[in-house]
Amino acid sequence: MSTNNKGEVVKVSGPLVVARGLAGARMYEMVRVGEAKLFGEIIEIRGDEYSIQVYEETEGIGPGQPVFRTGEALSVELGPGLIRSIYDGVQRPLDKIAAQYGEYIVRGAESPSLDRSMIWKFEPVAKIGDHVTAGDILGTVRETKLVVHKILVPNGVEGTVKKISSVEGNVDTVIAVIETDKGPRELTMVQRWPVRQPRPVAKKLPPLEPLTTGQRVLDMFFPMTKGGTACVPGPFGSGKTVVQHQLAKWANANIVVYVGCGERGNEMTDVLMEFPELKDPESGEPLMERTVLIANTSNMPVAAREASVFTGITIAEYFRDMGYSVALMADSTSRWAEAMREMSGRLEEMPGEEGYPAYLGTRIASFYERSGNVICMGSDKRNGTLSLIGAVSPPGGDFSEPVVQATLRVVKVFWGLDDKLAFARHFPAINWLTSYSLYQEVVDKYANDHYNPKWSEVRRRAMAILQREAELEELVRLVGMDALPADDRLLMQAAKMIREDFLHQNAFDELDTYTSMVKQFHLLSTILHYYDEVRPALQKGVPLSKLLTLPVLEEISKAKLIPENKLEQFDELRNKVSEQVKALLA
Partner 1 sequence: MVTKEYRTVKEIIGPLMLIEGVEGITYGELTDIRLDDGTMRRGRVLEVHKDKAVVQVFEGTSGLAPQGVTVKFLGKGVELGVSGDILGRVFDGFGRPIDDGPPIIPEKWLNINGNPMNPYSRDYPNEFIQTGISTIDLLNPLVRGQKLPFFSGSGLPHSRMAAQVARQARVLKTGEKFAVIFATMGITFEEAEFFINDFRRTGALERAVLFINLADDPAIERIAVPRMALTVAEFLAYEKDMHVLVILTDLTNYCEALREISAARKEVPGRRGYPGYLYTDLSTIYERAGRIKGKMGSITQLPVLTMPEDDKTHPIPDLTGYITEGQIILSRSLHAQGIYPPVDVLPSLSRLKDKGIGVGKTREDHANVMNQLYAAYARGKNAKELAVVLGESALSEIDLLYVKFADAFEDRFIRQGEDENRSIEDSLRIGWELLGLLPKSELKRVRPEFIEKYYPENK
Binding site for partner 1 (CB under 8 A): 10-14, 18, 57-65, 86, 94-95, 97-98, 102-107, 236-237, 260, 262, 264-266, 268-270, 272-273, 295, 297-302, 335, 338-339, 341-342, 344-345, 348, 351, 354-355, 393, 395-398, 423-425, 480, 508
Closer to partner 1 by CB, 128 or 483: give it: 483
Q: How buried is 80 (Cβ within 10 angstroms: 0-12 exposed, 13-18 middle, 19+ buried)?
A: buried
Shortest distance (Å) from residue 17 CB to partner 1: 8
Q: Residue 305 and residue 313: Cα distance in Å, rounded? A: 13
- Our CB check for partner 1 shows the closer of 225 and 296 to be 296
| Minimum CB distance to partner 1, residue 351 (Å) | 5
C-alpha to C-alpha distances, 23 to 64, 194, 228, nearest whole angstrom: 17, 21, 42
CB of 272 to partner 1, least distance (A): 7
Q: Between 66 and 351, name the residue whose CB sits nearer to partner 1.
A: 351
Q: Which CB, 61 or 573, lies closer to partner 1? A: 61
Least distance to partner 1 from the beta carbon of 504, Å? 13
Give dist(CA 184, CA 163) in Å, integer. Answer: 10
DSSP calls for 199-218: PP-SEEE---SEE--S-HII
Nearer to partner 1, 34 or 79 (CB): 34
Q: Is 237 left (phi over 0), alpha (psi -120 to 50) or beta?
A: left
DSSP-assigned states of every residue in 55-88: SS--TT--TT-EEEEEEEESEEEESTT-TT-EE-
Q: How far is the CB of 492 from partner 1 (least distance, A)?
A: 16
What residues have CB less than 8 Å from 532, skipping those under 6 apart? none
Report the residue number, 296 or 525, with the smaller CB distance to partner 1: 296
Burial of 338: CB neighbours in 10 Å, binned 0-12, 13-18, 19+: buried
Tell me how far apart the alpha carbons of residues 234 and 96 are, in angstroms, rounded to a whole number.
Answer: 34
SS3 state at 192: strand
- Compute how many other C-beta atoms are within 10 angstroms of the C-beta atom of residue 4: 13
CB of 547 within 8 A of CB of 533?
Answer: no
**Which run of H or E residues covers position 472?**
helix 455-479
Shortest Å, Cβ 234 to partner 1: 11
Question: In whole angstroms, how close is the CB of 341 to partner 1 at the nearest point?
Answer: 5
Q: Which residues contact 495 (CB under 8 A, 6 or more apart)?
A: 465, 466, 468, 469
Q: Which residues contact 39 (CB under 8 A, 6 or more apart)?
A: 30, 32, 33, 54, 55, 56, 90, 108, 304
Rank residues 154 and 262 by Cβ distance to partner 1 and give the closer one. 262
Residue with smaller CB distance to partner 1, 64 or 551: 64
Indicate the residue among 11 and 461 with the shorter CB distance to partner 1.
11
